[in-house]
Amino acid sequence: MKKVLIMPVLAAVLVAAACGEDGPTGEDTTASVRFFNATTGMTGSGGFTTDGQFAAGSALAYGQSTQSCATVDAGSASFGFGAADAGGTALSGAALATLDDQTMTAGGDVTVVAAGPAAGPTLFLLDNTFPGPLATNQAAVRFVNLAPEAPLLFNVFLGVLGSGGTMAAPNIAVGAPTGYATVTSGSNAFTILNGHNIVISGNAATLVLPAGSVNTVAIVPGATAGSYQLVNIPRCS
């Protein structure tokens, strides 16, 4: 009789343990990572590695981010970037840039960016934490300068110059995101300046920001020399 009573209890414990894949309490023990390629002058795609292993789906053309986010164990992680092979499954040679010993927080949301010329790119890690909350008709937006080959300090104006608005962030240094600004969701016009000179405006600086979204907008080199464009990099959650 004792065996009959003990075995169901043991089975229940084993089932509970099997279901708790993230640990005994079911808490998340990983961070989410999206990759973005903003390097210029690379023939073909660039790819990313995490702790020396190629990140699946990270073979990206210029201006592209991964469609889905990778998971990385909490703790220390290192990232690399280089030219991807023809199949998009590995680097074709040694990494051109590395970012070592980065602290990954359980439940964290980050973007790893490669920027600059392909001959000498630089990796940046952007923490996408947003304190919130947002109202049902609001979105959060911040900007990051990912054009290290051009020694420009960009200024971001929320709105159209001469039609009202506010200066959101002056003198944005490369790789250092601005703080988040809360705006009304939907179509939003911005103006990007270098000093008093307008760099991006009009349709090229108008973005549709969905309600409840948290957006990181990168300022990157455009298709022609001396031009720039905006690319919205979605966060993982």
Residues 208 and 155 in one domain: yes
pTM exceeds cut of 0.75: yes
Tell me, yes or no, whether 199 and 106 share the same domain: no
Domains in the chain, number: 2
Q: How many CB atoms lie within 10 A of CB 40?
A: 18
Q: Which of 36, 25, 22, 29 minimizes the C-alpha distance to 236?
A: 36
- Alpha-carbon gap, residue 31 to 19, rounded angstroms: 20
In a domain, 16, yes or no: no
Per-residue pLDDT of the chain (237 residues; tens, 9 = 90+): 444 343 343 344 333 344 434 445 567 899 999 999 999 999 999 999 999 999 999 999 999 999 999 999 999 999 999 999 999 999 999 999 999 999 999 999 999 999 999 999 999 999 999 998 999 999 999 999 999 877 678 999 999 988 888 888 889 989 999 999 999 999 999 999 998 899 999 999 999 999 999 999 999 999 998 899 999 999 998
Could you say which of 129, 156, 178 is where a domain stops? 129
Give yes or no: residues 47 and 74 share one domain: yes
100 inside domain: yes
Q: Pairing between strand 53-54 and 197-200?
A: unpaired
Q: Are 160 and 204 within one domain?
A: yes
Tell me how far apart the terminal alpha carbons of the chain are, to the nearest angstrom.
51
Residue 226 sits in a domain whose CATH number is 2.60.40.1110
Q: With contact defined as beta carbons under 8 Å apart, do 83 and 93 qualify?
A: yes
Rounded CA gap, 229 and 223, in Å? 8
What is the CATH number for 80? 2.60.40
Assess whether 111 and 184 both reside in one domain: no
**Residue 235 and residue 163 share a domain:** yes
Query: Residue 225 has which token pair?
Result: 């020399």
Return d(Cα 221, Cα 37) in angstroms, integer.
12
Domain enclosing residue 168, as ranges = 130-237
| Shared domain check, 120 and 36 | yes
What confidence tens digit (pLDDT) does each residue in 100-140 have? 999 999 999 999 999 999 999 999 999 999 998 999 999 99
